[in-house]
Amino acid sequence: MNVTFPPLIALLLFPGGLFLLASGLVFEYVDRKFIARYQNRIGPRWFQPLADLVKLLAKEEVIPAGTIKGLFIALPIAALAAALTAGLNVPLFGFRPVFSYPGDLIGTLYLLSLMTLCIGLAGANTENRFSIVGATRALTQLFSYEAPFLLALLGPAIALGTWNIGEINQAAGMNLWFILSQPIGFLAALIGLMGKLELPPFDAPEAETEIVAGALTEYSGRGFALFRIGRDVELVIGLTLIASFYLGGFSSPLDFLWKTAVLLLITAALQSLFARLRIDQTVGLWWRVGAILLLVQMLVIIVGSSLAPFVSRLFGG
Amino acid sequence: MNNPIQNVMEKIKTWARTNSPWAIHFNSGSCNGCDIEILATLTPRYDVERFGIKLQGSPRHADVLICTGPVTLQARDRLVRIYEQMPEPKFVVAVGSCSISGGVFDGCYNVVGDISEVIPVNVYVPGCPPRPEAIIYGIEQLLKTLQP
């Protein structure tokens, strides 16, 4: 849908800002509900994420001794701000991206990984041994999934010859869906998103049974609430990116809803099916399997797209 | 407190608190019977996520401290420390006979006594061990006391 919004409304209300936060809460609810249904439970009530958020915001924020106070307060804000900024570059709810420039795919991915960097810094900032172990694991995981995730999203971009998210979204609907022509890329992108959000089975950085709550162990109240809502926003943006790249893009809000719901159903199934991987297994999975398969696929795409003109000339195109 | 905006804010806070009690579980010298019942409470069969109850790893994220067992000399400092690490507002639920009175461990050379001798307790859940339904009922009673 080619509707443009006035800049201030787009920034604060719709589709960025407030509406993005609200949809983050809705997506978290749907994710938790799906997992609950997969585990044969009833699951949370519809306002559960909102109640969690308000409760955390109303709680006392303990700033532990031995931390750099300014950094402790600023990191959650930076993480949420980066996630919200990334929301301006993607076709949320099927509308045209609010803000776009050539090559904004790379900028958006950078903004999305700023969240993990902030979590890593937040963990390393405190003196707590559990948060330091969690921060190390979060950053290790960042280095393992980031390159395959980027390669997975670059597949459609190279095949279409543009690195602009809005243009890819439009062009993806006209071609054969990329989930069919690049299935490896689709899987890698989806699993990469799960690694980015530290969802099970990639939740080694916040493994409750080993290291309390990982990098965010010392965060309480406001800071923890901001990190949580930032992660929800990132879930929305990540699903938007994958659905617009691999599921034929969206042209209307309805398209957006059912495509992201299908993706959520798949991620929830993966979350409830698999047990947690050790951090070395996560790294091994990405670099030994994911990256190599993706590089092969990338080679095929580049060779294929450079041979395409010759082939079509050969067959009298 | 008579300011209408503050009243509404208080109502929203109370609503959020009563709908999202995150728990942390601490065993200060119990025989493990109550702990197994608490774990049973968290299984899909009882599905406490319906009420918004979630088990958290870190005391910094939790609202409700679920204690089991009498307090031993060794565990006393740790219990107080965990309690002090929790951010306000915080509540304590004592589960099982031993946490109410010391139970069969009362008077042992290595036992300080019940939980309320060390930290303030909001709700007691009796039983040896109490059934999961009783634990859920106890937390519901705690949430009722929060409402004005």
Q: How would you write the pLDDT of chain A (317 residues) with one tens digit per residue? A: 566 666 666 666 666 778 888 888 999 999 999 999 998 888 888 888 999 999 898 888 888 888 888 888 889 999 998 888 888 888 877 677 777 778 788 888 888 888 888 988 888 888 888 888 888 888 888 888 888 888 888 888 887 777 888 778 777 777 777 777 778 888 888 888 888 888 888 887 887 777 888 888 888 888 899 998 999 999 988 888 888 888 877 777 788 888 888 889 999 999 888 888 888 888 888 888 888 888 888 888 888 777 777 776 766 54
Tell whether B60 is covered by a domain: yes
Closest of A290, A110, A268, A263 to residue A179, by C-alpha: A263
ipTM of the complex: 0.85
Closest of B109, B96, B107, B110 to residue B138, by C-alpha: B96
A43 close to B (CB below 8 A): yes
Tell whether B13 is covered by a domain: no
Give the confidence band of B134 by pLDDT, cuts at 50, 70, 90: very high
CB pairs under 8 A between A and B: 88
- Which residue in B14, B15, B20, B22 has the most chain A C-beta atoms within 10 A of its own C-beta, making it the best mutation to test that interface? B20
Helix-strand-coil split of chain B, %, nearest 5: 50, 20, 35
Which string of b and e fits A247-274 if b means at least 16 CB within 10 Å?
bbbbbeeebbeebbeebbeebbeebeee
Q: What burial class does residue A208 get, using C-beta atoms within 10 Å of its C-beta: 0-12 exposed, 13-18 middle, 19+ buried?
A: middle
- Report the CATH number that the domain containing residue B48 is assigned in CATH: 3.40.50.12280
Range of the domain at B132: 20-146
The residues, ordered by sequence, that sit 6+ positions from B71 with a Cβ below 8 Å of its Cβ are: B28, B29, B79, B111, B112, B113, B114, B115, B117, B118
Residue B113, classed as helix, strand or coil, is strand
CA A153 to chain CA centroid, nearest Å: 12
Round to whole Å and give the CA distance between A66 and A98.
42
CB A89 within 8 A of CB A169: no
- Six-digit token string for A35: 């997992």
Using one digit for the tens of pLDDT, what is the confidence trace for B47-90?
888 888 888 888 888 889 999 989 999 889 999 999 998 888 88
Tell whether B78 is covered by a domain: yes
Tell me how close the Cα of A190 comes to any Cα of chain B, in angstroms: 26
Q: What burial class does residue B15 get, using C-beta atoms within 10 Å of its C-beta: 0-12 exposed, 13-18 middle, 19+ buried?
A: middle
Whether A58 sits inside 8 A of B60 (CB atoms) is no
CB B97 within 8 A of CB B128: yes
Tell whether B81 is covered by a domain: yes
Maximum alpha-carbon separation in chain B: 55
Domain count, chain B: 1
Q: DSSP letters of A120-155?
A: HHHHHHS--HHHHHHHHHHHHHHHHHHHHHHHHHHH
Residue of B52, B57, B85 lying closest to A44 (CB–CB): B52
- Six-digit token string for A156: 């459609």
Whether A48 sits inside 8 A of B15 (CB atoms) is no
Tell whether B12 is covered by a domain: no
Tell whether B10 is covered by a domain: no
For chain B positions 11-70, those within 8 Å of chain A (CB to CB) are 12-13, 15-17, 19-20, 22, 44, 47, 49-50, 52, 55-58, 60-61, 63
